[in-house]
Amino acid sequence: MIDRLHQPRRFISWLPFATLLQKEVRRFLKVAFQTLLTPIVTASLYLFVFGATLGQRISVLEGFSYAQFVIPGLILMGVINNSFANTSSSLFISRYLGNIVDLLVTPITPPQLILAYTLAAMLRGLLVGSVVLLISFFFAELPFASPGAAAAMAAMASFLFAQFGLVAAIYANSFDALSMFNNFLILPLIYLGGVFYPVSILPPFWARLSHINPMFYLIDGFRHALLGVGDLPLGTAFTVAGLMAAALFVWASLLLGSGYRLRL
């Protein structure tokens, strides 16, 4: 047993954070069939449909097969969906069961609380994305034009949607309301953000309208980093994604710091 009286004060102040992070990681690993295997199988089916069947028959981007074009979007879709699902489900269930009260009385600061939820969500999202990337090697070769930028964009997308998951979990009043964020907001924006087609081939009005879609900047930036070609400069994609991530982090911090709606 650790003698807490002889531990440095800095260690003790971060102990609740480390404990919460460990709990969140164990939570999704305990049901890995649902949290990791299921989204990987779903992404693999997408890869089979668009890689093995259509990948070599059509092309929407000069110099690349359709499989090469669509793989970055499918990888990022797995990262986004699972990062959002982890924080939103965990925090909402804590509110629903009432054990959020136990967490609030611990000596943990709002930034530490957010960081613990966020790191666990990023781990889950990036694990799924990494496995989808490995599976994609069976269907197409990617040039990896800027691997560092690709990893940074994936991490930023994961961070961004971990924050959005916290915000959604606070505002949702029921499981149905929580699922609406994913079914009626995230998925439509992903599909309309250029996962399966380049925005540049759309008519001018719809192409301009797509620039309002926040997913467009994440997907195009990630694809640009992997393939070396995109509708936007990498700097623009990173700037917009960074501003969105910062805004959602501030929003989540204000909500959790004030205790707003943390109890159903």
Q: Could you tell me the mean pLDDT of each successive run of 10 residues in the chain, 264 residues long?
A: 48 80 95 92 86 70 87 95 96 90 82 94 97 92 95 98 97 93 94 90 90 95 95 95 96 90 76
Residues in the chain: 264
The reply to whether 16 falls in a domain is no
pLDDT score, position 56: 65
The reply to whether 10 falls in a domain is no
The reply to whether 81 falls in a domain is yes
What are the φ/ψ torsions at residue 64 (nearest 5 degrees)? -135, 145
Note down the domain range covering 81: 32-258
The reply to whether 20 falls in a domain is no
pLDDT score, position 5: 44
Instruction: Please measure the distance between the N-terminal and C-terminal CA atoms of the chain and give it in whole angstroms.
Output: 36
The reply to whether 23 falls in a domain is no
Angle between helices 66-97 and 110-136 (to 10 degrees): 150
pLDDT score, position 4: 46
Q: Which of 164, 176, 184 is nearest to 88 (CA)?
A: 164
- Structural domains counted in the chain: 1
Whole-prediction pTM? 0.91
Query: Residue 233 carries which DSSP code?
Result: -
**Beta bridge partners of residue 64, listed in sequence order:** 61
